[in-house]
């Protein structure tokens, strides 16, 4: 088949259906078709039908024949997402390189595959995308597949029994997307991760990685999404160089890479660091989730907060202390601010956030030394969830009567006294209200 022809094997016709069902072959080509191209299409159709017959006559314990009689050398893309192939063992990945040696895209997401992934897939030297997500694959994933010279996307996510370690990535690797979330991959991230200069998305959430995060990650200037949450990482974040007085962020954002980083998720690890303002000044950063770590120290105000794209900030369940920076209250795109379960103190003036019309979730609970100030006419049009539990609150904030869209309100474990105001029952959108452990007068 000529290069301009792209053949897609449609998933609807490779299920275990009756042999009388037809196999669909579609090709995209230029408007003028020569007789030779038509002949190639006919040949491919014959090969696809033969592959289907091979599948239908496979042994019960092997959905894919190990030596298929069909020859699909011109097949470039194979999409079987959502088809219940129910193949166990490694036969399926032995058959595919034999039948489709020039395959560029292999997508078998949610196909009920199980068992190991055999190393023979590394024979697909033209492969640019491999999606085996949402199956039940197991055993060790071959490192050599990750090192395929043309591979751009590798998605192995949601294969909980699948284990493995990351290889040494060669210089010049074309990898753009690496997704291993909800697998059992372990070990350390190699320093050679810095060779993935085209990497856009790295998702290692809910794996078993450990050790230090290599500083070479900070050189990945194309990186947009970085998710390392729920692992066993220690030490410091890659752009927190170790200093004699403890790890701190570099003082100037000009010395930090990651210029295109839009989301940084490193929740639920054991990261130890003292943060300074440079982290919040990354020019493209929209979502920053660092909860459930061992972050400590006093947060400083950062420059040009009103120009920042930050929309979600979660620093909850850490050891941060001191005043909450006013810069957080100047983030014009802010929708969620979660600072609960820290050691913040001093006063936070909510009147400063009246210009943040997009704010929907404010969570400041479990900061017992924090004082909350506000004006009675404050109105936050998008506010839906407000949590001030264990915040030393002495009365129900009067500005809440202006919050028509409020859905959740937490004021438990405070020092609120007196009679509960009647207007609180007039908040028609309210579906969750927690006022427990206060000192109300119900008479």
Percent of the chain with pLDDT over 70: 79
Q: How far is the C-alpha of 236 from the C-alpha of 224, rounded, in Å?
A: 20
The pLDDT mean for the chain works out to: 84
Q: Which of 2-11, 236-245, 338-347 has the lowest mean pLDDT?
A: 2-11
117 compared with 95, residue with greater pLDDT: 117
Q: Where are the domains of the chain?
A: 299-443
User: What average pLDDT does this structure show over 149-172?
Assistant: 98
Q: What is the pLDDT of residue 285?
A: 96
- In the predicted structure, residue 59 carries a pLDDT above the cut 50: no
Give me the phi and psi of 349, to 5 degrees please. Answer: -95, 105
| pTM, rounded to two decimals | 0.84
- In the predicted structure, residue 38 carries a pLDDT above the cut 60: no
Q: Which of 217-221, 253-257, 262-266, 337-341 has the lowest mean pLDDT?
A: 253-257
Q: What is the pLDDT of residue 50?
A: 58
| Confidence tier at 33 by pLDDT (50, 70, 90) | very low
| Confidence tier at 253 by pLDDT (50, 70, 90) | very low
Q: What is the pLDDT of residue 8?
A: 39
3-state secondary structure the chain: CCCCCEEEECHHHCCCCCCCCCCCEEEECCCCCCHHHHHHHHHHHHHHHHHHHHHHCCCCCCCCCCCCCCCCCCCCEEECCCCCCCCCCCHHHHHHHHHCCCCCEEECCCCCCEECCCHHHHHCCCCCEEECCCCEECEECCHHHHCCCCCCEEECCCCCCEEECCCCCCCCCCCCEEECCCCEEEECCCHHHHHCCCCCEEECCCCEEEEECCHHHHHCCCCCEEECCCCEEECCCCCCCCCCCCCECCCCHHHCCCCCCCEEECCCCCCEEECCHHHHHCCCCCEEECCCCEEEEECCCCCCHHHCCCCEEECCCCEEEECCCHHHHHCCCCCEEECCCCEEEEEEEHHHHHHCCCCCEEECCCCCEEEEECCCCCCCCCCCEEECCCCCCCCCCHHHHHCCCCCEEECCCCCCEECCCHHHHHCCCCCEEECCCCEECCC
Percent of the chain with pLDDT over 90: 65
How far is CA 2 from each of CA 45, 46, 69, 71, 77, rounded to the nearest angstrom?
Answer: 15, 17, 23, 16, 14
Size of the chain, expressed as the number of residues it contains: 443
Q: What is the pLDDT of residue 87?
A: 77
Q: What is the pLDDT of residue 241?
A: 41
- In the predicted structure, residue 26 carries a pLDDT above the cut 70: no
Q: What is the pLDDT of residue 4?
A: 32
| Confidence tier at 20 by pLDDT (50, 70, 90) | very low
Tens of pLDDT, residue by residue over 73-113, are 899 999 999 999 887 777 788 888 999 999 999 999 999 99
**370 - beta bridge partners?**
346
Q: How far is the C-alpha of 167 from the C-alpha of 146, rounded, in Å?
A: 7
Q: What is the pLDDT of residue 250?
A: 35
Q: Which of 144-158, 165-179, 213-227 has the lowest mean pLDDT?
A: 213-227
Domain 299-443 has CATH 3.20.20.140: no
- In the predicted structure, residue 251 carries a pLDDT above the cut 80: no
| Confidence tier at 15 by pLDDT (50, 70, 90) | very low
Tens of pLDDT, residue by residue over 212-239, are 999 899 899 999 999 999 999 987 776 6
Q: What is the pLDDT of residue 10?
A: 42
269 compared with 11, residue with greater pLDDT: 269
User: What average pLDDT does this structure show over 405-418?
Assistant: 96
User: What average pLDDT does this structure show over 141-158?
Assistant: 98
Tens of pLDDT, residue by residue over 269-320, are 998 888 878 889 899 999 999 999 999 999 999 988 999 999 999 999 999 9
User: What average pLDDT does this structure show over 197-221?
Assistant: 95
- In the predicted structure, residue 17 carries a pLDDT above the cut 60: no
């Amino acid at each position: 088949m000529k290069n301009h022809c792209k053949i897609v094997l449609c998933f609807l016709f490779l299920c275990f259906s009756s042999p009388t069902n037809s196999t669909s072959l579609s090709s995209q080509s230029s408007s003028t078709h020569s007789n030779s191209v038509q002949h190639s299409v006919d040949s491919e159709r014959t090969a696809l039908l033969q592959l289907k017959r091979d599948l239908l006559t496979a042994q019960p314990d092997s959905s894919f024949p190990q030596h298929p009689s069909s020859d699909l050398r011109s097949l470039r893309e194979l999409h079987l997402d959502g088809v219940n192939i129910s193949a166990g063992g490694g036969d399926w990945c032995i058959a595919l390189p034999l039948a489709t040696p020039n395959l560029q895209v292999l997508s078998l997401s949610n196909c009920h595959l199980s068992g190991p992934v055999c190393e023979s897939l590394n024979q697909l030297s033209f492969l640019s995308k491999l999606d085996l997500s949402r199956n039940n694959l197991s055993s060790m994933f071959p490192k050599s597949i990750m090192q395929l010279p043309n591979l751009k996307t590798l998605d192995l996510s949601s294969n909980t029994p699948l284990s493995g370690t990351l290889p040494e990535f060669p210089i010049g690797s074309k990898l753009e997307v690496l997704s291993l979330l909800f697998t059992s991959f372990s070990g350390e991230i190699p320093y050679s991760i810095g060779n993935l200069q085209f990497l856009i998305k790295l998702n290692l959430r809910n794996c078993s990685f450990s050790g230090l995060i290599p500083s070479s990650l900070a050189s990945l200037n194309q990186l947009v999404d970085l998710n390392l949450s729920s692992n066993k990482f220690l030490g410091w974040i890659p752009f927190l160089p170790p200093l004699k007085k403890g790890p701190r962020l570099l003082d100037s954002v000009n010395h930090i890479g990651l210029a295109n980083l839009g989301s940084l998720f490193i929740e639920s690890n054991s990261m130890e660091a003292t943060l300074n303002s440079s982290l919040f000044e990354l020019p493209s950063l929209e979502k920053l989730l660092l909860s459930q770590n061992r972050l400590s120290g006093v947060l400083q105000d950062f420059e040009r907060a009103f120009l920042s794209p930050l929309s979600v900030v979660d620093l909850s369940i850490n050891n941060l202390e001191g005043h909450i920076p006013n810069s957080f209250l100047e983030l014009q795109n802010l929708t969620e601010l979660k600072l609960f379960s820290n050691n913040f103190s001093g006063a936070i003036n909510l009147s400063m956030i009246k210009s943040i019309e997009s704010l929907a979730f404010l969570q400041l609970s479990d900061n017992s030394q924090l004082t909350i100030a506000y004006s009675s006419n404050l109105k936050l049009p998008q506010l839906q969830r407000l949590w001030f539990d264990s915040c030393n609150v002495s009365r129900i904030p009067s500005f809440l009567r202006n919050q028509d869209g409020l859905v959740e309100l937490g004021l438990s474990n405070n020092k609120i006294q007196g009679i509960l105001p009647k207007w609180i029952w007039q908040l028609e959108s309210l579906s969750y209200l927690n006022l427990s452990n206060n000192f109300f007068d119900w008479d």
